A and B are shown apart, each in its own frame.
Chain A
Amino acid sequence: MGPLAVNDIISPNTNFLLAFIIGIAFGLVLEQSGFSSSRKLAGLFYGYDMVVLKVFFTGGVTAMLGLLFFSLFGWVDLNLVYVNPTFLASAIVGGLIMGAGFIMGGFCPGTSFCGAAIGKLDAMIFIVGLFIGVYIFAFGYPMFETLYKATPMGAQKISTMLDISDGVFALILVVVALGMFYAAEWVEKRFPREEY
């Protein structure tokens, strides 16, 4: 059955309409969770507010378990669900650069749009920065290309690499995530906390 758009069950235009609706839900959840505040987001890195960790990993494992159950019931064909291709070196360097951007800017792209939507000027400036950054990458592409295409590994799943089933990996990740949540609750008690 699913994914609906890939199996032509819904038309491309319906798919775009649903993208818009999914976006609205995404924006609502982000804002309601407090992701429109850079100081709340940055709390993750100083221990005073671990909301990013909690929302992020709860969301990740929920969707992961959901997809695995959907696949089990035959509702979605996991072979047709997009898996980001892995370019190891590019992913590591890109991740580290984004980490630097996160601690300096206090937002990530999705949350900055959310912050900008409720009038945060720092979020708007952050978005301007995002555009400049992508323009720099586009115009300076020859400079980045070697790194961008270094160590291609294809659309690799961790479960395949570790030679375990998706389900077992999901269980491991759930246990790790829950461990982090309890640690986060403990950490938050040790740091003075303020609601932003």
Chain B
Amino acid sequence: MKPLHYLTMVLLILALVIALVPQNTTRPYKLTAEELLAEIRTGTQFISPDEVADKIIRKDPSIQLIDVRNPREFDMFSLPGSINIPLQDLLAEKNVDLLNQGSKMNILYSNGSTEANEAWLLTRQLGYQNNYVLQGGLNYWTETILNPQKTGGVISNDEIAKYNFRHAASKSLGGGDASTAAPAASTAGSTPKPGVVPVKKKKKASGGC
């Protein structure tokens, strides 16, 4: 048989196979299940409302708040300076640059922390870094930042400072309480601050013949 006949057979069979099987559209996961589980267990993705409030007040340029609720909810109420990426649009092409970046700290939030955490889980599996979740979501945010309650009974200095900070934050972030203002304490949150991990931008190979 001539090479052309072999070629015809092989190419036609391969082409038929590739035409009939569904296209592989899965994105490869960058983390193994074990690695991901370890991260979930330590909960390093969570960032406390106090810390977020502090950053918002200081107008920290290194954060980007991302609201993963639907646009209607986003229009009704959102944190200052946040953008809206509804959960269903999370994997859209246009959002990749926002979620997979190395210059800012993305803080995802939803009403509770479930949706934001789901969004984080997905981005983390794709290997994206620098995405965090607002602990407790907007519900806890309203409770702690916008309407802080004085804890009754004997309270430690630390808790007073925390209350004072929340109280001040509440004022500047438009909370309901309007009693005497306390000086804003920046002692909020003694956990180590999650830094921004620089991401080497995965550019497509450049062409240019």
With A and B bound together, what is the CA distance between A177 and B22 in angstroms?
23
A153 within 8 A of B: no
Bound-complex Cα distance A35 to B16 (A): 31
In the complex where A69-B18, A77-B28 touch, is A6 in contact with B205 (Cβ < 8 A)?
yes
Interface of A is mostly: helix
Taking a contact as CB atoms closer than 8 A, the residue among A3, A8, A170 that contacts B18 in the complex is A170
User: Is B180 among interface residues, defined by CB-CB distance under 8 A?
Assistant: no
Assuming the contacts A65-B11, A185-B4, asked whether A82 and B204 have C-beta atoms less than 8 A apart, the reply is yes
Q: Does A32 contact B (CB under 8 A)?
A: no
Q: How far is the CB of B204 from chain A (nearest CB, A)?
A: 5
Contacts of A74 in B (CB 8 A): 24, 26, 28
Residues in A with CB closer than 8 Å to B203 are 6
Contact assessment for B18 and A171 in the assembled complex, using a CB-CB cutoff below 8 Å: yes
CB of B12 within 8 A of CB of A167, answer: no
A65-B18, A74-B28, A167-B21 as given contacts; A80 in contact with B7, CB under 8 Å = no
Q: Give the shortest distance, in Å, between B123 (CB) and chain A (any CB).
A: 16
In the assembled complex, B157 has its CB within 8 A of some CB on chain A: no
What's the dominant secondary structure at chain B's contact region? loop
The answer to the question of B14 belonging to the interface, with a C-beta cut-off of 8 Å to chain A, is yes
Which residue from chain A places its CB closest to the CB of B200 in the assembled complex?
Answer: A8
B204 contacts across to A, CB distance below 8 A: 6, 80-82
Which residue of chain A has the shortest Cβ distance to B11 in the bound complex? Answer: A174
* Pick from B14, B202, B205, B207: contact of A65, CB under 8 Å: B14
Residues of A within 8 A of B202 (CB): 6-7, 80
Contact B205 A165 (CB under 8 A): no
Expressed in whole angstroms, the minimum distance between the Cβ of A114 and any Cβ of chain B is 16
Q: B1-41 CB contact bits vs A (8 Å, 1 = yes)?
A: 00010011001101110111111101110000000000000
| Chain B, interface residues (CB within 8 Å), range | 20 to 34
Contact yes or no, B12 A3, CB < 8 A = no
Q: Which residues of B in the span 124-163 have a Cβ within 8 Å of any Cβ on A?
A: none
Residue A158 at the B interface, CB < 8 A? Answer: no
Tell whether, in the assembled complex, residue A167 and residue B20 are in contact, meaning their CB atoms are under 8 Å apart.
Answer: yes
Q: Kindly list chain B residues whose C-beta atoms are within 8 Å of the C-beta of A167.
A: 15, 18-21, 23
Question: Which residues of B sit under 8 angstroms from A71, Cβ to Cβ?
Answer: 23-24
Complex interface: chain B residues within 8 A of A86 (CB): none
* Set of chain A residues within 8 Å of B22, measured between Cβ atoms: 165
Question: B179: CB under 8 A from chain A?
Answer: no
Query: B29: shortest Cβ distance to chain A, in Å?
Result: 10
With A174-B11, A178-B8, A185-B4 as contacts: A72 and B18 at CB distance below 8 Å: yes
Q: Apart from A79-B27, A167-B19, A168-B19, what 5 extra A-B contacts exist at CB < 8 Å?
A: A58-B7, A74-B24, A77-B27, A174-B11, A182-B4
Query: Lowest 7 A-B CB distances belong to which pairs?
Result: A171-B19, A174-B15, A167-B18, A167-B19, A171-B15, A82-B207, A168-B19
22 contacts between A and B (CB under 8 A): A6-B202, A6-B205, A65-B15, A65-B18, A69-B14, A69-B18, A72-B21, A72-B23, A74-B24, A77-B27, A80-B204, A165-B19, A167-B18, A167-B19, A167-B20, A170-B15, A171-B15, A174-B11, A174-B12, A178-B8, A178-B12, A181-B4
